[in-house]
Structure 1
Amino acid sequence: MTAPGPPDEELSRLAELHGVATSYSPSPDRTVAAPATAVRAALAALGIDASTPQAARSALAARERELRERLLPPTLVHWADAPDGPPALGALPAGTRLRIETEQGETRAAAEGLPDGVHRVTASAPDGRTAEARLIVAPARLPTPAGRSYGLLVQLYSLLSRRSWGMGDLGDLAELATWAGRTGGAGFVQVNPLHAAVPGAPTDPSPYRPSSRRFPDPVHLRVENIPEFAHVEDRERVGGLLERAERLRASVLDKGALIDRDAVWELKREALELVRDVPPGPGRQAAYADFLAEEGQALEDHATWCALAEVHGSDWHRWPEDLRDPRSAGTARARAELMDRVDFHSWLAWLTDAQLTAAQRAAREAGMSAGIVHDLAVGVHPGGADAWAQQEYFAAGMSVGAPPDAFNARGQDWGLPPWRPDRLAASGHAPYRRLLRALFRYAGALRIDHVMGLFRLWWVPQGQPPTEGTYVRYDADAMLALLALEASRAGALVIGEDLGTVEPGVRETLQRRGVLGTSVLWFERDWEGDGHPLPPARWRADCLATATTHDLPSTAARLTGEHVELRDRLGLLTRPLEEERAAAAADTAEWLALLIRLGLLTGTAGVHSPPAEEAEIQAVHRFLLSTPARMIGVWLPDGVGDRRPQNLPGTWDQYPNWRLPIADAEGRPVTLEELAASPRLHALIEVLRGSPGQG
């Protein structure tokens, strides 16, 4: 079969003017043409007809005329470190009148001295042309760490205490942060995305395919911490719920069952329905009313989707046709009929927001410099609440993924609809800004998954393999400016997950604006030189440095080679087992040899005993401390020798992704209380606190 051909000259020019790439570079020395079919599909998703040469020619002429005649682009950016003078508004005709309405409520006729914010600019030219644009005035850099700190990385669901109901919750998060801050001197706790999930049978357990990124998931609630819980009148029923919670918890901690999110939610939902019947005090009622007013249409849409999903299922594409439009008369009628359920889901969002805020407050009161680091997923589920409520901002028929590269020759399709850059720009990136504001309300720092998506995303046409996609560019300057503006107002840090293929200049731009990168030990090699492990002095300072992540083997598994055995059992190896074992052993041996040369490890290399493994893990973290990295992250399961990854990319039902509790080296689940008392974890924390000693 003949491969799809590259775009012709006119199609290429049209694509360029709409930010659609016609080629990409999987490696610095290689450029690949994007298929013309992918380019046309991406343009179609942007509302541009390029289906025939004549259509492309007409669209090109229209776009060139639009750009030539417009007074202002839809979004303008002015950074505080720009050269002196007013924000650059472009080459406006002589005599053009300006009207600027600032975010602070002022009206001005000139752009000098504008405060930080998102302002509305209206231009009126003498020839009768008018234009309106958003002007983002942003601080030069995001907040950066005042000093150096270490913190714990954990998937919250995996952190069960003797009080949680079958999975880790926000009470456990507050408890962990308080303990780590007060006892261990930690500066932060980083968690997985806590976004609202798409309900299902079973629910997709991945926190990276949420229904909504704007609103959190109430499955994380600590029910007993809701003030009204103590006043539920039916104490017999409450007792029954608590007994069921104990059985659910014991099934995971004592009987080896997987975390069952659906069972947890079924139990919590029943309890929350009881709690809701308790009248709140006047202060609580006023606080809820304020939350409803502040969140407005976005919360009403989210809660409406949740209520409709209870009746019609969790994929809005399969709902009755008049309900697929959030602004239709049919949806308005359904919302009125389901108003009690809409209010229930709005109330759940308020409760969850309050407990997230309480967790951050507990972290800061425990002395943490940053507190809770929340995770922003790269996209949302196509059938979920955000995709329904914000349809005009999503590219229909497209999915986000990754192109073929040295690690995955087939590319990746993540099944997430991308935002339309044109619609974002026309709105002043309003949905993105509202999302940031919501998250920064309770985050001391924000990790942005696949931060390169602020610059460009790989769009895959529906029904096509990910190899048949292309990149589409976003207004990174505007996205970064809004990030700097909202993070600065919140006093929060931002960490970009910039692992994998990154186009030239992106890391430098992020660093210049204060976005910290992510450096994982096993990937830090001198790739432009001899390929050996990168010595600590050559690591970048503006990063979060870690030994592993949720998508990678634990440090114990890597040191012992157990990650190779796991992949072999699941049929995931691409080479014979002995070759994989040898390559993994050589990689590990090279790192251990470096640790010994640096005096960070003595007398353990090649000795596979529990004390030696513990010493090697400590030495790995001493190495991280010897780099200039501003933040050091410790994968919490590494503190007890957990062997199992939380997620094994390339698997679905072959491996229990996102459903494992933290466990020790023997696979026995470890509670939060046991973690806090673990001599092994305490010894690792002493290393991170800078205590002297060698392995």
Structure 2
Amino acid sequence: MDPKVLDRAAERAGIIPEYIDAWGQRKIISRETKRQLMAAMAGLIDDPDQAAPVPPVWVVRTGQAAPLPVTLAAPGDWTLTEESGLRHQGKTVNHAVTLPAALPPGYHRLTLHAGERHWSCQVIVAPPRCYEPPALLAGDRLWGACVQLYTLRSRHNWGIGDFGDLALMIEGTARHGGAFVGLNPIHALYPSAPGWASPYSPSSRRWLNILYIDVGALEDFRQSRAAQEWWASPQTQQKLAALRDDALVDYPQVAECKLAALTYAYDQFCTRGADEPERREFADFISYGGESLRHQATFDALHRYLTREGHPSAGWRQWPPEYQRADSAAVREFCQRHDNEILFFSYLQWQAARQFDACFRLSRRLDMPIGLYRDLAVGVSEGGMETWSDRTLYCLAASVGAPPDKLGPQGQNWCLPPQDPNVLTARAYEPFIEMLRANMRHCGALRIDHVMSLLRLWWIPREHTARDGAYVNYPVDDLLAVLALESHRQQCMIIGEDLGTVPREITGKLQAAGVYSYKVLLFERTDGGHFRPPDEYMAQAMATLTTHDLATLRGFWQQEDLRLGRELKIYPSQEVYRHLLDDRRQARQALLAALHAWKCVPAKMSANADRVMMSPLLNRGLHRYVARSSSALLGLQPEDWLDMALPVNVPGTTDQYPNWRRKVTREVAEMFDDPAVMRLLKEVDRLRKSAISHTGKTPVR
């Protein structure tokens, strides 16, 4: 291909030809990278010479009267059908369709006619901002707990936190004044490869992780005589006790126990009469889930079948070739022969959805202003259900990550295949809409991981390093509009994880669209190295002390995360380790100075950070500091209430550290009855409910 033709085609495809790196240097994308990324795309890139006279989708905000351009040589007729069925008609004028200004928010259909030919365009009308709960619009400052669900302990779970534990977490948080419980991504993983446990590398973002089912709460499990005999046996009880007592989640053993028990429950369900309410509810669930649920259940059933037949794998890319496409003859034959197995996995999704819905309804009964807050992963695994069932949308010859920067000089490759923005547009954003609906269901807030993906993603050609990638544009204005529309329809507010390098182009767009920012205490420092005062925190934001990818408070203060990194050989040299230690000493000193300035710690506490060890007083002071922030939301981790040191995840590691496995040290019920935790949460609640300004500091009691 002629180099100039390639450059023009790459730009139409959304490949950004250059960018400014973390060192302020201008980087030009090579034509070889452009060629490889173009090859990875699905070929739906607009050719200006062959484009339809109307785009596949047109997005406007309510009240706008922006004309829709058309490229017909002569005037044509158009018909606009609203979602309600109301119709509008007219003729194109000056190569444009002037849409009615009073169109309601929603998804409408425009049809353009010219002689015997006609073309369709999805017209999406969206409100200007995302939904915000009444409490936030009234100026309330809310707080809640942010948990990794699998880390929770209780007397009744089976070695992994479950939806029963989530109910306990909701009750405890609400009892102490909390407005929400935030969760790690609870997307579907791999029941037949449970060791692949990262919640940020799911099989599907539309369905749930069935290991979170509270098996003991299922009526079908309790009514099954075979299930109760199995459960009451000494061997089962010993195994469950061991799993419960383990400091880490043993995913393979948990999955073995739960799938055995759930099989008994499903067998019992199959004995129900056709007219029983549960039977009808399950049929409605299958109908509502449609093709996506059928694909998820088929994928999980086929994965288990192949594993039992001697083909264990982390996903479909290692399956026999005849099963690697969801629409293959071999898969259709499998569906006919294993229909009951597919229904079993549909049943598991139904039970997971029922229990999660019950948790959300519990939060509503307890008058929590937000209730549950979910986390949407930035992508899906290359071997999961979504890529298996939708080969056109996902570009499997590329993956997303990050370019080299000061923290990662080699860049990052997350091994998540990107969605083709050209296919998204051609489908009128239907995959994005369906994903949002699935994740906004049964919750009051949705956190979007790496929210910059709405604007651009760093694509890396397969078998290349992150250095050889390029940014690819996404239709940010349209996606934000869809986000706002679905947010209002589901009454679900939006939080955007905007840590790291945030392009200027998106910051203002996110704020204007009502997307709440994400502010982490450990990163909130001024150019001079001082920690940002609480009254200068952004109001349209959620503040946190730390995150699942960072050290706990104890780990940070005692530098245990750095020592752990050295043990795991994460740092390339001793010099880098010493540099990090020096940075940490400066950060601790600046943070302690901020705590003293805001009277969050007693005046008698030393002002020299090297002389201050982590203690209940220091822990309480750090919580006081962020509780005073101007941010509308505050998310706290139970690990920090319990003064835990080990992180849940160490970025840059795979097998060196038990990522996504470490549990909390106390049972949920014990934690909320602990006098120290109760005192801490009572003070956080008081500070969030009082309008404290810099001039109204309160002394430490």
What TM-score, normalized to structure 2?
0.90
The aligned residue for residue 80 of structure 1 is: 62
In the alignment, what sits opposite 1:264?
254
Give 2:103's aligned residue. 114
Question: What is the CA-CA distance between 1:338 and the residue it aligns to?
Answer: 0.9
Extract unaligned runs of 5+ from structure 2. 91-98, 308-312, 688-697
Deviation at 1:234, TM superposition (A): 2.6
Question: Counterpart of 1:66?
Answer: 50
Structure 2 counterpart SS, 1:690: helix
**1:187 Cα deviation after fit:** 0.4
Cα offset for 1:251? Answer: 4.4
SS at the partner of 1:650?
coil
State whether structure 2 residue 282 is matched by structure 1 residue 300: no
Quote how far apart the aligned CAs of 1:129 are: 6.2
- Distance in 2 (CA, whole Å) between partners of 1:456 and 1:408 is 19
1:643 offset after TM fit, Å? 0.5
Contact 2:557 2:613 (8 Å CA) reproduced:
no
Instruction: Output the CA distance in 2 between the equivalents of 1:611 and 1:406.
Output: 30
Counterpart residue number, 1:52: none
Q: Which amino acid aligns with 2:132?
A: T
- For 1:98, the equivalent position in structure 2 comes to 78
1:310–1:250 CA distance, 2 compared to 1 (3 A): closer
In the alignment, the residues of structure 1 paired with residue 569 and residue 318 of structure 2 have an alpha-carbon distance, to the nearest angstrom, of 36
How far 1:583 sits from its partner (Å)? 2.2
Q: Structure 1 245/378 Cα, relative in aligned 2: closer, same or farther at 3 Å?
A: farther
Q: Per the alignment, in what secondary structure is the counterpart of residue 648 of structure 1?
A: coil
The residue aligned with 1:379 is 379
Match of 2:675 among 679, 687, 691: 679
> Are residues 654 and 191 of structure 1, via their aligned partners in 2, closer, same or farther at CA, if it must alter by over 3 Å?
same
Is the CA contact 1:150–1:186 (under 8 Å) kept in the aligned structure 2?
yes
Q: CA deviation at 1:625?
A: 2.6
Write out aligned runs for 1:633-652 (5 A): 633-652=635-654
Q: Aligned partners of 2:435 and 2:288: how far apart in 1?
A: 13
Counterpart secondary structure, 1:624? helix
Distance 1:421 1:540 in 2: 31
* Aligned residue type for 1:569: E
Residue 153 of structure 2 is matched in structure 1 by: 160
Partner of 2:691: none
- Within a 5 Å distance, the mapping from 1:279-290 to structure 2 comes to 279-280=271-272, 282-290=276-284
User: What are the residue-to-residue correspondences of 1:49-448 with 2, within 5 Å?
Assistant: 63-66=47-50, 70-80=52-62, 82=64, 85=65, 88-89=68-69, 95-109=75-89, 111-112=99-100, 113-125=102-114, 130-145=118-133, 146=136, 147-181=140-174, 183-199=175-191, 201=193, 203-234=195-226, 237-240=229-232, 244=236, 247-253=239-245, 256-278=246-268, 279-280=271-272, 282-313=276-307, 314=313, 315-448=315-448
Q: How many angstroms does 1:132 deviate by?
A: 2.0
| Distance (Å, rounded) in 2 between the aligned partners of 1:140 and 1:538 | 26
Residue 109 of structure 1 aligns to a residue in which SS?
A: strand
Give the aligned partner of residue 580 of structure 1: 580
Query: Is the contact between residue 165 and residue 246 of structure 1 (CA under 8 Å) also seen in structure 2?
Result: no
Is 1:625 aligned to residue 607 of structure 2?
no
One-letter amino acid matched to 1:117:
G
The alignment partner of 1:680 has SS state of helix
Residue type at the aligned position of 1:187? A
Aligned-partner SS, 2:144: strand
Work out the CA distance in 2 between the residues paired with 1:19 and 1:682.
52
User: Root-mean-square deviation (CA), in Å?
Assistant: 2.4
Which of 9, 12, 15 does residue 20 from structure 1 map onto? 15
- Shift in alpha-carbon separation, 1:610–1:139, aligned structure 2, 3 A: same
Distance 1:129 1:47 in 2: 26
CA contact (8 A) 1:162 1:673 kept: no
Distance 1:604 1:490, change over 3 A: same
Q: Which residue of 1 aligns with 2:26?
A: 31
Give the 3-state SS of the residue equivalent to 2:112 in structure 1. strand
Q: In the superposition, relative to structure 1, how do residues 242 and 283 fare at CA in structure 2: closer, same or farther (>3 Å)?
A: farther
Deviation (angstroms), 1:581: 2.5
> Letter of the aligned partner of 1:515 in structure 2?
V
Name stretches of at least 5 consecutive residues in structure 1 with no aligned partner: 1-6, 50-58, 663-668
State whether residues 157 and 661 of structure 1, in contact with CA within 8 Å, keep that contact through their aligned partners in structure 2. Answer: yes
Partner secondary structure for residue 302 of structure 2: helix
Deviation (angstroms), 1:48:
5.0
Distance 1:80 1:320, change over 3 A: same
SS of 1:556's equivalent in the other structure is helix
Q: Counterpart of 1:505 in 2: which secondary structure?
A: helix
Quick check: 1:77–1:87 contact (8 Å CA) kept in 2?
Answer: no
Change (3 A) 1:280 1:179: farther
Q: Name the stretch that deviates more: 362-371 or 39-48.
A: 39-48
Identity %: 33
2:548 is aligned to 550
How far apart, CA to CA, are the structure 2 residues paired with 1:633 and 1:202? 29
Q: Which amino acid aligns with 1:688?
A: V
Q: What is the CA–CA distance in structure 2 between the aligned matches of 1:523 and 1:90, rounded to whole Å?
A: 48
Structure 1 residues 290 and 425, CA gap change in structure 2 (3 angstroms): same
Q: Equivalents in 1 of 2:166, 2:479: separation in Å?
A: 30
* CA deviation map 1:470-509 (0-9, x unaligned): 1111111221122111111111111111111111121210
Structure 1 residues 252 and 580, CA gap change in structure 2 (3 angstroms): farther
Question: 1:231: Cα distance to partner?
Answer: 0.9
| Contact 2:400 2:415 (8 Å CA) reproduced | yes
Partners of 2:540 and 2:235 lie apart in 1 by 48
- Number of equivalences: 662
Deviation sequence 1:103-143 (CA, Å, 0-9, x none): 333333253132211222222246x7643221111111111
In the alignment, which residue of structure 2 is the partner of 1:506?
Answer: 506
Q: Pick closer, same or farther for the CA change 1:217–1:120 going to 2, 3 Å.
A: same
Amino acid at match of 1:43: M
Question: Aligned-pair distance for 1:241?
Answer: 6.2
- Residue 688 of structure 1 corresponds to which residue in structure 2? 684
**Distance in 2 separating the partners of 1:251 and 1:114:** 56
- Which amino acid letter does the alignment assign opposite residue 57 of structure 2? T
* Match of residue 310 from structure 2: none
Give the letter for the 2:141 counterpart: R
CA contact (8 A) 1:78 1:88 kept: no
Change (3 A) 1:97 1:218: same
Identify the residue that residue 44 of structure 1 maps to in structure 2. Answer: 39
Counterpart position of 1:54: none
Greater CA deviation, 427-436 or 111-120?
A: 111-120
Per the TM alignment, residue 418 of structure 1 is displaced from its structure 2 partner at its CA by 0.8
Distance 1:36 1:24 in 2: 14
1:275 is paired with a residue whose SS is helix
Deviation string, structure 1 residues 521-576 (Cα, Å, up to 9, x no partner)? 1111224xx34322223321111100100000001111122222211222223543
Q: Corresponding residue for 1:519?
A: 519
Residues 608 and 200 (structure 1), Cα distance of their counterparts in 2 relative to 1, 3 Å cut: farther
The one-letter code of the counterpart of 1:345 is F
Partners of 1:361 and 1:680 in 2: how far apart? Answer: 29
